[in-house]
Every structure is written in structure tokens, then in C-alpha cells.
Amino acid sequence: MEELKEISPTEVKRLLQEGKKISLIDVREDEEVAEGKIPEAAHIKMGEIPMRLDEINQDEEHIIICRSGRRSENVAYFLQDHGYKVKNMTGGMLEFNKD
């Protein structure tokens, strides 16, 4: 199994502040996203990922996000196994929202 790439919430914030075009996919449940998400992130619940692969561009890299980094890690491995370029945001939204 290929090693999964990771990115820190601090690095994601820096890329957004610099205006870089990055693809963010939030895999949390509706009620979690209702509490707040990164505005630039697409929302595709973890359980819907397999049915919605056609919405995810295989030609670009995606940063996968959840609450703590665990579900996003699982989704990132799944997508990577299906030929997608992905990074897991370590620490999830808990870390992202700390500052």
C-alpha cells in the first residue's frame, strides 16, 4: 500500500491565504458541517464517497478533511486506492479551528 500524504491545518490555512487553488473535501456528517466548515471545501459525506466518485476530479489533488483526521484518513486511502491524488489533513477541523 502506497504511503498516504498528509498536510497540516496550518499549511492548508497558508495555502488558502496565499490564494492557491486547492481542492478540499469535507467528509463529515451534515450536523458537523452545520457547525462550520472551511468555505472553500466541498461537502461529501464519508458514506457517500463511493457513489459520488464522478464528482471528484482525478486530475487534481484533493485534501480530505473530517473532525479529527481519522475518517478523512480512511477516505483518503480509499480514494488513493482508486487512483486519486489525495492528502489527509491531520488533526481535522479540531486542529484547524484552534487558532
**Annotated catalytic residue 51:** no
Of residues 62, 51, 54, 52, the one with CA closest to residue 84:
62
Terminal CA-CA length for the chain:
34
65, 66, 76, 86: the catalytic one is: 66
At 72, list the grid cell: 478523512
- Distance (Å, rounded) from C-alpha 67 to C-alpha 14? 19
Residues noted as catalytic: 66
